């Protein structure tokens, strides 16, 4: 019974999304939207978060926007850092793969963290296993065994806002 309620809620969300994207109430559009919403609800069940009502929280939207703004600013800073390393005559890089421990709980939050790290120039998230992210870093300036310092340098600025959005 619970999965039926979930699929019905997914169907309604997909149909409303269709209406918002097409911005049309003609019969053909409504029928096409209903058919697609039914297909999406059947095929993609479980894709949407379990607690959909969290999507409408103004506090979460505030923190999501704050995360995007801080990410944008950090990307600008990281671009200048990578630019400096490229134009420096000695090319001061020490690339390596480091382990980053995340305290985020949900898969969505970990995915956003991994993507935020990857968007930052000089880093690339390679894999996520449980609470560990494996990241290729252009300048490993910490001891590879000091995961707390590495986590603070790479993920610390992102986890604060992502925790408020997702957890």
Residues 43 and 58 in one domain: no
Per-position b or e across 42-60, b if 16+ CB within 10 A of its CB: eeeeeebeeeeeeeeeeee
Angle between helices 107-119 and 58-87 (to 10 degrees): 30
Residues 30 and 58 in one domain: no
C-beta of residue 102 within 8 angstroms of C-beta of residue 159? yes
d(CA 161, CA 147): 20
Q: Strand, coil or helix: what is 89? A: coil
Residues 43 and 124 in one domain: no
Residues 134 and 63 in one domain: yes
| Residue 134 β-bridge partners | 99, 127
Out of 48, 66, 86, a domain closes at: 48
Confidence class for position 124, pLDDT limits 50, 70, 90: very high
Give, as one character, the DSSP assignment of residue 97.
E
pLDDT digits (tens, 9 = 90+) for 4-14: 777 788 788 88
| Residue 3 β-bridge partners | none
Residues 103 and 73 in one domain: yes
Residues 33 and 88 in one domain: no
Instruction: Answer yes or no: pTM beyond 0.75.
Output: no
Residues 120 and 161 in one domain: yes
Confidence class for position 47, pLDDT limits 50, 70, 90: low
Q: What is the full DSSP assignment across 143-156?
A: -TT-HHHHHHHHTH
Domain count, the chain: 2
- Of the ranges 27-41, 51-65, 73-87, which one carries the lowest mean pLDDT score? 51-65
126-143: average pLDDT: 88
Range(s) of the domain holding residue 34: 2-48
Confidence class for position 158, pLDDT limits 50, 70, 90: confident
């Amino acid at each position: 019974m619970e999965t039926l309620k979930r699929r019905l809620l997914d169907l309604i969300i997909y149909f409303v999304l269709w209406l918002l994207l097409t911005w049309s109430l003609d019969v053909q559009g409504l029928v096409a939207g209903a058919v697609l919403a039914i297909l999406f609800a059947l095929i993609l069940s479980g894709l949407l978060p379990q607690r959909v009502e969290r999507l409408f929280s103004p506090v979460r939207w505030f923190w999501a926007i704050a995360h995007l703004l801080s990410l944008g600013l950090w990307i600008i800073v990281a671009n200048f850092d990578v630019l400096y390393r490229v134009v420096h005559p000695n090319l001061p890089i020490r690339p390596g793969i480091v382990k980053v421990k995340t305290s985020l709980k949900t898969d969505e939050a970990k995915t956003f963290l991994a993507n935020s790290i990857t968007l930052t120039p000089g880093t690339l998230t390679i894999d996520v296993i449980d609470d560990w992210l494996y990241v290729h870093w252009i300048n490993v300036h910490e001891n590879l065994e000091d995961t707390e310092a590495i986590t603070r340098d790479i993920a610390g600025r992102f986890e604060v806002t992502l925790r408020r959005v997702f957890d």
